Amino acid sequence: GENVEQHPSTLSVQEGDSAVIKCTYSDSASNYFPWYKQELGKRPQLIIDIRSNVGEKKDQRIAVTLNKTAKHFSLHITETQPEDSAVYFCAASWDTGRRALTFGSGTRLQVQP
Amino acid sequence: EPEVTQTPSHQVTQMGQEVILRCVPISNHLYFYWYRQILGQKVEFLVSFYNNEISEKSEIFDDQFSVERPDGSNFTLKIRSTKLEDSAMYFCASRGGAGLDQFFGPGTRLTVL
């Protein structure tokens, strides 16, 4: 089955700096890669996703890149703000057949004001 | 904006007891999921449900677990005889027919004593 590795496990940045979280996946059939933000005690919230037919997608301060050959994808947050502090999970799935999400282990992002 | 809802928010039970966790998916969604998250760990897939039957389940989803959509709006997860290691946050998620995005409920924290 699919296995998703996520790094780093914790990340501390100064407000205004950029943050990058990286994931790798094992199943070359995976072609849908969402990112979820989870604040303490809350539900995971979908913040951005990318399909394997594109290499990059941007939404304001958030961008995601995908390297299908290397089976890597990354989340980039620019101009970080204290409210970006949360745990971020990457995930992988297929868009045909089984569509359950396989999650990475999470990155705790702390933005220092 | 429609959201997935779950009840109860917190359930405390004795080992060996049966529990039923309830979810109301987004009304026009067709695919339903249960995930669990042990404290401080990643989100893990349990089961997916489509067209009134299980479409996929993980190794975690053994004979002690069952799911049901009893009335066209609720989606339930039953654990027949709870174990200490079942203590976790249980998330329900739903997805529309064409989209890939899964939307999570707020979770039920299950504590088995």
Beta-bridge partner residues of A104: none
User: Cβ separation of A46 and B101 shorter than 8 Å?
Assistant: yes
Nearest CA in chain B to A107: B42
φ and ψ of B33, to 5 deg? -140, 155
Q: How confident is the model at residue B2 (pLDDT cuts 50, 70, 90)?
A: confident
- Taking the Cβ of residue A93 and every Cβ of chain B, the question of whether any pair is shorter than 8 Å is answered with yes
| Confidence grade of residue B70 (pLDDT, cut at 50, 70, 90) | confident
* A62 CA: distance to closest CA in chain B (Å): 17
Per residue in B16-66, pLDDT (tens digit) is 999 999 999 999 899 999 999 998 888 999 999 998 999 999 999 999 999
Residue A97: the pLDDT is: 52
Contact check, Cβ <8 Å, B31/A99: yes
CB < 8 Å to A94, chain B: none
Q: Looking at chain B, which residue has its C-alpha nearest residue A89?
A: B42
Stretch (H or E) spanning B13: strand B10-13
Write down the pLDDT at residue A96. Answer: 62
* Number of other residues whose CB lies within 10 A of the CB of residue B49: 22
pLDDT in tens, B71-94: 878 999 999 999 999 999 999 999
Q: Distance between CA atoms of A77 and B24, rounded to whole angstroms?
A: 33
Pairwise CB contact (< 8 Å): A44 & B43: yes
Which residues does chain A have with pLDDT short of 70? 96-98
Confidence band (pLDDT; 50, 70, 90) for B100? confident
Contacts with A, B 87-106, CB within 8 Å: 91, 95, 100-106
Which H, E and C letters describe chain A, residue by residue?
CCCEEEECCEEEEECCCCEEEEEEECCCCCCEEEEEEECCCCCCEEEEEEECCCCEEEECCEEEEEECCCCEEEEEECCCCHHHCEEEEEEEECCCCCCCCEECCCEEEEEEC
Q: Is the dihedral of CA A106, A9, A95, A27 positive or negative?
A: negative
C-beta separation of B91 from B105 below 8 A: yes
* CA–CA distance, A81 with A77 (Å, rounded to integer): 10
